[in-house]
Amino acid sequence: MYLQKYSKLLPTVFLLIFLVACGLYLFVTGASVMWSGFIAMMFFYALIFYFGSYVAGNQKVKDGNDTMLAGRSIPLFIGIFTMSATWVGGGYINGTAESAKTGLVWVQAPWGYAISLIIGGLFFARIMRRHQFKTMLDPLSQRFGKRMAALLFIPALSGEIFWTAAILTALGTTFGTVLGLEAQPAIILSAIIAIAYTSIGGLWAVALTDVVQLVLLLGGLALVVPIAMSSVGGWDVAWTAYVEKNGVTATFFPSHENLGGYYWMWWDYALLLMFGGIPWQVYFQRVLSSKDEKTAVRLSVFAGVICIIAAIPAVLIGIIGGVADWEMIGAIPGNDSSILPHVIRYMTTPWVATIGLGAVAAAVMSSVDSSILSASSMAGWNVFRPLFKPDISPSNLEKVIKRSIWIIGIAATLLAINVQSVYDLWVLCSDFVYCLLFPALVCALFDKKANTIGAISGFAVSFILRFGGGEPTLNIPNMIPYPMMEGETVLFPFRTLAMLSGLMTIILVSRLTQNISVPRVLTKMEN
């Protein structure tokens, strides 16, 4: 009886033993590590794992439905925290600082994603929660068929993996800079911990740890900013130097005169972020887990406001990193993606640096667990179940989801080890879902005449127009001669063209093929 009572603590105990062993190994091998920071980070990891595996485990996850949606019992307060923490991840913090260094005009993601949360809450959350869908792909499956939903799972999965990889990369660069550890071990260790407690506790584990992580993030960055700002002479000095260095790009909203041909590229990315931030399972998982429709709307809107507030410290750190005299400091950043960890490590005190590192680690963990759970939920519910085993039991579905968590988590970890820019991956993940998923989701929810043939045609058009413009991050060359070329860069807003063309194709082709492919009706699912 005694052993049974404390059996749920065993994973945390094993983790502590493993972390101590890692520390002893580093000590014996003579590794150059900031030990105060290392000890603090091990304590942080143990705390988060305890919350995720033990506290959430007591919520009694019974089957795949509980794993995915926490029994649709997430209250407003926890919902706001988990939604905000999911968006304000390592990619959000590091990517914002990275883009702010080169000019505020390219700091689009924070306010773009914030607007997407508000739009999602006002127009998408209510209808999704009313129908009691379990994943974002459910309305697509009902309207266009299970095979089309499985096809649309590919860009959804790609987006989640790219998102997770960007987050883990941000952590790796931060660990390497602040603690003196290699990036790869830091990425692998963080990924294993996040994957483990997510597979144990499901959405409750993710939600409860998100509360802790968001508090640590906001508190940690609040300590870092004033100390780092004082090291460059205060706000007035830093801002004057920043404006002199960046000129017309030191503003959030540019004019055509200031950016020239890049003005239309700027709007392409702005629209991508505002609407490409909606068709995400990681977003709808929180909407669908809320207690009712009103809660679903409120947590989306409130989370959008918090996302804007949380971006302010990262923007300020990017400004500090952009005007700092790194040659005099003696620690020149290898690339823009390492600006935030360099500011934390070299422009604050050791203990503040440790707290700042904890803030970044908190941000990373809060987004990694959410992304891998979201992708795994779709893999189990919308792909494996309908295509391979329609009569699967709830308990077996839970096993499939947990196995998917490990498979998808490992795939994202491998990608994170081999990428350079946090910001590029961070934006690319929304790029895919904006062009390929958003048109289908809009039509599935709001166009009663949309059918399968229209969805297939729209997907094909969006795919050709999007990837015809190339993708440097994935080494895909430009194949369509779009106007407004500057070297290999396409300034023409071809991503928005791909999205709008796909949307119009679904609408028009569906109406032309009503007799061939009868539109399906959305129905309310069993709770």
In the DSSP assignment, the letter for residue 34 is -
Pairwise CA distance, residues 504 & 512, whole Å: 12
Q: Is residue 379 part of a domain?
A: yes
**Which pLDDT score is estimated for 242?**
93
Pairwise CA distance, residues 110 & 106, whole Å: 10
CATH code at 31?
1.20.1730.10
Pairwise CA distance, residues 476 & 499, whole Å: 19
Is the distance from CB of 458 to CB of 509 less than 8 angstroms?
A: yes
pLDDT higher than threshold 90 for residue 448? yes
Q: Is residue 16 part of a domain?
A: yes
Greater pLDDT, 396 or 448: 448
Q: Is residue 142 part of a domain?
A: yes
In the DSSP assignment, the letter for residue 103 is -
Residue 191 tokens read as 């990924």
Pairwise CA distance, residues 497 & 491, whole Å: 12
CA distances to 161, 380, 409 from 367, in Å = 11, 20, 12
**Which pLDDT score is estimated for 297?**
94
Mean pLDDT taken over the chain: 82
Q: Is residue 484 part of a domain?
A: no
Pairwise CA distance, residues 429 & 183, whole Å: 22
**Which pLDDT score is estimated for 365?**
65
Pairwise CA distance, residues 233 & 214, whole Å: 29
Identify residue 95 by its one-letter amino acid code: G
Pairwise CA distance, residues 527 & 521, whole Å: 18
pLDDT higher than threshold 70 for residue 201? no
Pairwise CA distance, residues 521 & 449, whole Å: 9
Q: Which residues pair with 489 in a beta bridge?
A: 486
Q: Is residue 362 part of a domain?
A: yes
Pairwise CA distance, residues 19 & 153, whole Å: 36
Greater pLDDT, 342 or 57: 342
Is the distance from CB of 337 to CB of 91 less than 8 angstroms?
A: no
Expressed as residue numbers, the domain containing 187 is: 7-438
Buried b (16+ CB within 10 A) or exposed e, 230-240: eebeeeeebee
Tell me, yes or no, if the pTM score tops 0.85. Answer: no
Q: Is residue 498 part of a domain?
A: no
Pairwise CA distance, residues 118 & 240, whole Å: 34
Query: Taking the C-alpha atoms of 14, 18, 21 and 26 in order, what is their torsion angle to the nearest 10 degrees?
Result: -160
CA 430, 93, 70 angle in degrees (round to 5)? 65
Q: Phi and psi dihedrals of 279, rounded to 5?
A: -75, 65
Q: Phi and psi dihedrals of 489, rounded to 5?
A: -95, 130
Q: Is residue 428 part of a domain?
A: yes
- Least confident range from 9-18, 154-163, 263-272, 288-297: namely 9-18
Residue 367 tokens read as 């987004």
Is the distance from CB of 280 to CB of 65 less than 8 angstroms?
A: no
pLDDT band of residue 181 (cuts 50, 70, 90) is: low
Q: Is residue 174 part of a domain?
A: yes
Is the distance from CB of 129 to CB of 120 less than 8 angstroms?
A: no
> Can you count the helices (H) and strands (E) in the chain?
25, 2
pLDDT higher than threshold 50 for residue 526? yes
Structural domain count of the chain: 1
> pLDDT per residue over 78-90, tens digit each?
888 888 887 887 6
Greater pLDDT, 127 or 216: 127
- The predicted model gives 172-198 an average pLDDT of 71
Pairwise CA distance, residues 311 & 112, whole Å: 11
Cα torsion 226, 240, 262, 268: sign: positive
Q: 10 Å Cβ neighbour count for 481?
A: 8
